[in-house]
Amino acid sequence: MHRSDQAPVRPTLLLIGAAFVATLAGHFTLERIGLSIPVLNDVRVLLFTAVVLAFLLEQHHAGEAARWHNRSASRALYPVLLLLGYQILSASWAPRGAIINDVLSDLVAMGVLLIVYTNLAVWDRDRVVRITFTLLYLAGWLYFLYAASGRGHTASGRWAAFGGGPNVFVRVMVLGIFAAAYFYFRHNGKLIWLVGVPPFLVGALASGSRGGLAALGIATGIALRSLWPTIRSMRFVKAFTALAVLLAVLWSIIGEMVTDLLNNRLVATTLQNRYASDRDVLYEKGVEVFFERPVLGSGVHGFYAITNLGPGERYVHNLPLAVAAEGGAVGLIILLLAFWSLRTEYARLPVRERSLESRAAAYAGFFVLGASLFSGDYYDTRLMWILWLLAAIHPAVTAAQQASNNTGTEGFSGSRGMVG
């Protein structure tokens, strides 16, 4: 029997899972567990090597089914790679004192991830999204249970897990909420999939991340138009009632601890003492650096070298402002081009032909963008680019795949473009 007569070879769970672990690992190094090994100390070296080798082997096995022959992918990916390439190039004019090696390794690692995920999206985009959201849902539970057990908390009591900070923790929690919503709609409103929403929401609150909670509000507002038909239905009443009961039960167990944390973090610290974690200082300095070098910027890590605000303030904690300060107007234009190309590619597919996976990935990407306006460095935006690439790329699908994609798509529907 010829290969063309057989069922198409799809990317395996092992490959997609390896790519997800490499993505979620972030800046994790073995120093966190007391080991220091030159080069290999960065776990990404091992993870990325495994991911690339696994991808090449599976792509070779799949043959033409996994070959990149998609103009949609090229139009979506190349502007993002152009941005990363420009940022790498900007190291050549970074000021003395800029620690560029770490930033360059981050940018190269992000480029590798985006290329792998783009190829996977061309190969079988909806399968990749389904497995990725499954892993996000499982990661949400893993992080929540770890933090709820009392481990990983900061000195002020904010929830975190596995060596990452509260701003990383809140992203995992909220993406777990998006994953739960995705499976709820995919499985025709089965309430069991919403069980994770209350604990993930409590975890997000317990992180004390003001930016993460604001980003959740931004993403929810963007998705509201698509969700409105569901909200107006009786189905939503059942879901809302179930969520309220689950949240009440959970709140009766750990609500007092979370309330004390929120009162200290949001009321006393933010409203009464007007403490913004020095974000106001960082943003002001970022604007100053941009106007000092408005065309090409200061080069990667130039913000830290110029401002010398201390080891805890190495970046601006705002993606557009960071690109403007270190890449100048040129970098900002390329960033906007990358945004525009992804939105345009997403909008090329008629609304009725967009899968639930595509829409869910788009809205989850908006959350990561919102969070990147308040915290994180360039590498912390990797999930935003990955999710938006998965949303924007629309490979050819078989009739059977299209029928499967249309299952449970009443939610997240009716959007026009990535902004709903």
414 assigned to some structural domain: no
Tracing tokens 């002020």 back to the chain, one arrives at: 156
Residue 420 has pLDDT above 50, yes or no: no
- DSSP string over 170-207: HHHHHHHHHHHHHHHHHTTT-GGGGGGHHHHHHHHHHT
The pLDDT value given to residue 261: 67
Question: By C-alpha distance, which of 379, 409, 344, 327 is closest to 129?
Answer: 409
- Provide the number of structural domains found in the chain: 1
248 assigned to some structural domain: yes
Q: For the segment 250-267, what is each residue's pLDDT rounded down to a tens digit?
A: 887 777 777 776 666 665
Helix axes 356-371, 100-148, angle to 10 degrees: 110
The pLDDT value given to residue 414: 44
Confidence label for 360 from pLDDT (cuts 50, 70 and 90): very high
Confidence label for 325 from pLDDT (cuts 50, 70 and 90): very high
Residue 406 has pLDDT above 60, yes or no: no
100 assigned to some structural domain: yes
410 assigned to some structural domain: no
CA distances to 358, 396, 397, 405 from 400, in Å:
17, 12, 8, 9
Distance, in Å, from the CA atom of 305 to the CA atom of 104, rounded to the nearest integer, reads 15
94 assigned to some structural domain: yes
- The full 3-state SS of 48-94, as one line of letters, equals HHHHHHHHHHHHHHHHHHHCCCCHHHHHHHHHHHHHHHHHHHHHHHC
Confidence label for 4 from pLDDT (cuts 50, 70 and 90): very low
Q: For the segment 280-311, what is each residue's pLDDT rounded down to a tens digit?
A: 889 999 999 999 999 999 999 999 889 887 66
Q: For the segment 34-74, what is each residue's pLDDT rounded down to a tens digit?
A: 556 555 567 778 888 889 999 989 887 876 655 666 788 99
Comparing 335 with 308, the larger pLDDT belongs to 335
138 assigned to some structural domain: yes
243 assigned to some structural domain: yes
Domain that holds residue 331: 3-63+71-405
The pTM of this model reads: 0.88
Question: By C-alpha distance, which of 86, 143, 82, 175 is closest to 380?
Answer: 175
419 assigned to some structural domain: no
pLDDT mean across residues, the chain: 84
Residue 403 has pLDDT above 50, yes or no: no
Let me know: does 211 contact 375? Beta carbons within 8 Å: yes
